[in-house]
Amino acid sequence: MTMYQQQSSHWGLFSAARKPGGLDVIPDPDDPNPAPLLRNVPAALDERLRVRTPHVRRGWLEGGSAERGDDEYLPISWSEAIGLAAGELDRVRTTYGNEAIYGGSYGWGSAGRFHHAQSQVHRFLNVIGGYTRSVQTYSLGAARPLLRHVVGNDDPISKATAWPVLAEHTEHFVCFGGIPEKNSQVNSGGVSRHEVAGHLRRARARGAWFTLISPLRDDLAPELDARWLAPVPGTDTALMLALSYVLIDRGWHDEEFLRTHCVGFDQFRRYLFGAADGIAKSPQWAEQVCGIDAAVIVGLAESMATRRTMVTLSWSLQRARYGEQPLWAGIALACVLGQIGLPGGGFGHGYGATAGVGARRLPYRLPTLPQGVNPVREFIPVARVADMLLHPGEEYDYDGERRRYPDIRLVYWAGGNPFHHHQDLARLTEAFRRPDTVIVHEPFWTATARHADIVFPATTTLERNDLGCAKEDRALVAMRQVTPPLGQARSDFEIFAALAGKLGVEQEFTEGRDEWGWLAHLYEQWRREASDPGLDFQQFWELGRLELPAEPDDQVLYEQFRADPAAHPLATPSGRIELFSERIDSFGYADCPGHPTWLVPEELQIQPGSGDFPLFLVANNPATRLHSQLDHGATSTSAKIHGREPVRMHPTDAVVRGLSTGDLVRVTSATGSVLAAVVISCSVRPGVVQLSTGAWYDPSAPGVATCIHGNPNALTRDVGTSRLAQGCTGQLTRVQVRRFIETLPPLKAHEPPTEGPTGTAVSTDSPT
Ligand code: PGD
């Protein structure tokens, strides 16, 4: 009889069994709305694309870094690979100090508390003396630093008003960037029940209104009957400022809330009415900037003032140049409305960005692998990785500090794909050629694995046992091994244990435990500390799942602060919401002044319809996979055309180019070019094209395009949001689209790299 085993992923719970025809995956029966991404899971065992044995890059063995990203790989034995990697780690730390090791290793990895790649890599590097780390994320690069100044912490993300409250009370959802259901399929760590779509439907059935403000119509589900306003991409700040202007100008603002709960309203009002720059941020002004009718802006402001309104701000808004501004202007707009702290009113940041925002949270710690202490103080804001590698010693600004990039000699990555997530991938290739050595753990031959010198084959969750849960979920599940490790793959833990052994610190790293020992230890420790469910580890494992008590469903963001701001101050310098921040102002950053400001991003300085790059490209998160994970899976590949990523465009833009759905095109920007296939759609604003992230980077035909598969990060600019946050700006760029009529080069991204002969003798003396 076939044995199905329970497993978990960032996009849902499932059971799986290996059958002669492949892996059979069954969604969890308790999930009301399982994610289509589950159909990608069988590709995890696709042997062609799995790294099955340790590999070393030929050029590295010969002492070179120039070919990184375009080289042959030699399969080697585990003992050779461990010897080479340990030797190189030791050489770098002794010669240059541990800060010369970059272990930022950003990435989502897989669900599972013990085999969490980030925790494993950080724990190992700490045990061997530390590493240069990264701070912040690609998801919320601008938001987190800004929120600290404006509201004191990230409660708008981690403690957003709960979905059931919105479903019951909100009368008007004003959704900047939408609430895209595709993104609410996922949650970092797992999601046992997909409920966001159901909450939205309940609100609509009760009569709630929805206004969608986005260049993409499908950023809100069609059944919500939203009014769609499609401003010029990147101009939401101007629209928000004009809405605040109307509310104040007509006396519809909440003077009392602004006086008692905010600081800086006077400076903000003066700016809105043009005292500083002579420009009133009126609806007529905004119409010129965003292309939304002034009368529509006035009507929207009136509707917001007369209904319980939730201003929702997507994470994508801040993933662009000056990305701090739309978030700050949106918070200011909610302050002007004065509904913050009321059920169903105020603002939220990232509803729909993951299933976790607005979900109930667990009021205690999860079972967590301890990472130890990093003795190295050096760090970079995560999206500045290429700058760091290319410009060691150079100074840069970050959140009020003047900092200097460290000189990195060794890059260590496990659980992320920078050749998916970073911007300007050709520049990243150049940057990756700088260090002496790059070591990567990957289950698959991704572009990151192909830019490494030593590649360790990592197992997937299907080949391991683990504990599955997330802070915003209610289930703790046994993730049970479905199949033995593929080829010679080992878990990240086993790889680090072997390296630690070679470097003489095995006991410090493993504490004498194997996988099973750690799972039992983490569970029992959590049981003692958090909430004793009564079951010991063996009983839990046999049962397979615990429903965890969570916070109540009625959480309203800032309810207590509204009731009594003196007794429940925010963690800002003033204790209130800062519409003007003296601290930010004191930094003197022209790209992030002391109050929400309309700053014209470079993308808008090219006139629409003219120049070499007349179209806006929205490079959003994909509907058919999580980031770049399992790009070769069934859901992901079924959306590709001629094997290339689809780029959506409006019929009017297609007609002038003579394009039809299915045509191959070359998309070019000032940064690079990609091949993609056109899909004509009225769901994108005229003048806008949309190409999702996640197609595996394929630079194998540079004479044809920077990426012949359709990875938009070959087109995006590698520049920070501002000197305040230095977040990533991958969401928006300017492009041209032209029919591609040359011979289509074959896709190499979904093939393994060229392999040298097995058994090639390698010297265990590591090169420098
Ligand atoms: P993933 O594709 O999830 O992307 O970037 P991120 O690097 O997280 O990469 C995870 C990698 O880990 C995969 O290659 C997977 O195979 C590997 N992996 C999975 N499990 C394991 C494991 O157990 N062990 C090891 N060693 N490896 C494992 C995501 C990032 O991209 C994010 S979060 C966002 S929000 C950004 N979004 C955008 C955007 O909107 N627009 C642009 N242009 N660019 C973006 N980049 C960012």
For the CA of 460, the nearest atom of ligand 1 = 23
Does residue 732 contact residue 323 with C-beta atoms inside 8 Å?
A: no
Give residue 609's pLDDT: 57
Q: What is the structure's pLDDT at 363?
A: 86
134 in ligand 1 pocket by Cβ < 6 Å?
Answer: no
Active site residue 163: no
The rounded Å distance from CA 60 to ligand 1 centre is 26
Q: Based on the domain organization, do 369 and 355 belong to the same domain?
A: no
Asked whether 458 lines ligand 1 (CB < 6 A), one says yes
Cβ of residue 445 lying under 6 Å from some atom of ligand 1:
no
- Residue 552: per-residue pLDDT: 86
Classify 244 as helix, strand or coil.
helix
Tell me which residue has tokens 């410009």: 391
Looking at residue 758, its pLDDT comes to: 62
Regarding whether 525 and 420 lie in a shared domain, the answer is yes
Q: Which atom of ligand 1 is nearest to the CA of 441?
A: 26
Instruction: Say yes or no: 248 and 344 in one domain.
Output: yes
Predicted local distance difference test score (pLDDT) of residue 768? 31
Let me know whether 117 and 161 are in one domain.
no
Whole-number pLDDT of residue 590: 98
5 belongs to a structural domain: no
3-state SS, residue 208: coil
Q: Is residue 746 assigned to a domain?
A: no
Distance 478 CA to ligand 1 centre (A): 24
How many angstroms is it from 105 CA to the middle of ligand 1? 10
Q: Catalytic: which of 11, 106, 405, 445?
A: 106
Same domain, 575 and 473: no
Q: Which of 165, 326, 159, 334 is nearest to 261 (CA)?
A: 334
What CATH number does the domain containing 344 carry? Answer: 3.40.228.10
Q: What's the CA gap between 627 and 643, in Å, rounded?
A: 18
**Closest ligand 1 atom, CA of 108?**
8
Q: Is the same domain home to 334 and 380?
A: no
Q: Is the CB of 442 under 6 A from ligand 1?
A: yes
Q: Which residue's alpha carbon is at the smallest distance from atom 8 of ligand 1?
A: 107
The whole domain housing 693 covers: 602-739
The whole-number mean pLDDT for each consecutive block of 10 residues of the chain, a chain of 768 residues, reads 93 97 96 97 97 97 87 97 98 98 97 98 98 98 98 97 98 98 94 96 98 98 98 98 98 98 98 96 98 98 98 98 98 98 98 95 91 98 98 98 98 98 98 97 98 98 98 95 98 98 98 98 91 86 92 93 98 98 98 98 78 93 98 98 98 98 97 98 98 98 98 98 98 97 97 77 39
Q: Give a yes or no: residue 728 inside a domain.
A: yes
Active site residue 106: yes
**By C-alpha distance, which of 51, 50, 68, 46 is closest to 59?**
68
Same domain, 199 and 92: no
Residue 606 lies in a domain: yes
Do 18 and 482 contact (CB within 8 A), yes or no? yes
Q: Are residues 383 and 462 in the same domain?
A: yes
For 368-379, give one letter per residue: b (16+ CB within 10 A) or e: ebebbebebebb
Catalytic residue, chosen from 108, 163, 328, 696, is 108
Write down the pLDDT at residue 578: 98
Distance 744 CA to ligand 1 centre (A): 28
User: Which H or E run includes 265?
Assistant: helix 265-272
What separation in Å is there between the alpha carbon of 628 and the centre of ligand 1? Answer: 6
Residue 570: HSE in the Cβ half-sphere, 13 Å Cα cutoff: 27
Within a domain: 731 = yes
Q: How many domains does the chain have?
A: 3
Distance in Å, CA 419 to ligand 1 centroid:
9
Nearest protein CA to atom 40 of ligand 1, as residue: 620
Residue by residue, DSSP assigns 498-542 as HHHHHTT-HHHHHTT--HHHHHHHHHHHHHHHS---S--HHHHHH
Angstrom distance (rounded) from CA 540 to CA 534: 9
Q: How far apart are CA 404 and CA 718, in angstroms?
A: 18
Burial class (CB in 10 A: 0-12, 13-18, 19+), 664: middle
The CB of 109 under 6 Å from ligand 1? The reply is yes
| 185 C-alpha to ligand 1 centroid (Å) | 15
Sign of CA dihedral 706, 709, 711, 712: positive
Please check whether residue 542 lies inside any domain of the structure: yes
Ligand 1 atom showing the smallest separation from residue 446 Cα: 14
pLDDT at 535: 92
- The alpha carbon of 520 and the centre of ligand 1 are apart by a number of angstroms equal to 29
CB neighbours of 73 closer than 8 A, spacing ≥ 6? 55, 56, 57, 58, 455, 753, 754, 755, 756
Q: Residue 751 domain-assigned?
A: no
Q: What spacing in Å lies between the alpha carbon of 421 and ligand 1's midpoint?
A: 6
To test the pocket of ligand 1, the residue of 157, 188, 495, 628 to mutate (highest count of ligand atoms within 8 Å of its CB) is 628
Q: Is 130 in the pocket of ligand 1 (CB under 6 A)?
A: no
Q: Does the beta carbon of 114 lie inside 6 Å of ligand 1?
A: no
Residue type at 138 in one-letter notation: Y
Is residue 693 lining ligand 1, measured as CB closer than 6 Å?
yes
Our mutation pick for probing the ligand 1 site, out of 113, 421, 427, 444, counting the most ligand atoms within 8 A of Cβ, is 421
Do 581 and 697 fall within a single domain?
A: no
SS3 181: coil
Nearest atom of ligand 1 to the alpha carbon of 422: 46
Q: Are 118 and 110 in contact (CB under 8 A)?
A: no
Q: Which atom of ligand 1 is nearest to the CA of 694?
A: 2
- CA neighbours within 13 Å on the CB side: how many for 49? 20
- Is there a domain that residue 2 lies in? no
**Per-residue pLDDT, 764:** 39
Is 37 a pocket residue for ligand 1 (Cβ < 6 Å)?
A: no
The residue to mutate among 49, 108, 314, 735, having the most atoms of ligand 1 within 8 angstroms of its beta carbon, is 108
| Ligand 1 near 110 CB (within 6 A) | yes
- Whose C-alpha lies nearest to ligand 1, atom 19? 109
Distance between Cα 225 and ligand 1 center (Å): 33
Atom of ligand 1 nearest to the CA of 731: 41
* Phi, psi values for residue 731, rounded to 5°: -70, -30
Instruction: Specify the CATH number for the domain of residue 632.
Output: 2.40.40.20
The contacts of residue 575 (CB under 8 Å, 6+ apart) are 565, 566, 569
Report the nearest atom of ligand 1 relative to the CA of 117.
Answer: 24
pLDDT of residue 347: 98
**Does ligand 1 come within 6 angstroms of the Cβ of 447?**
no
Separation between Cα atoms, residue 140 and residue 728, nearest integer Å: 9
Judgement on whether residues 270 and 308 belong to the same structural domain of the protein: yes
> Are 302 and 210 contained in the same domain?
yes
Q: Which two tokens stand for residue 2?
A: 């076939």
Q: Please, are residues 239 and 215 in contact by the beta-carbon 8 Å criterion?
A: no
Best residue for ligand 1 mutational test, from 123, 184, 629, 707 (most atoms within 8 Å of Cβ): 629
Decide: 629 in ligand 1 pocket, CB within 6 A: yes
Together in a domain, 378 and 450? yes
Q: Measured from the CB, is residue 690 less than 6 Å from ligand 1?
A: no
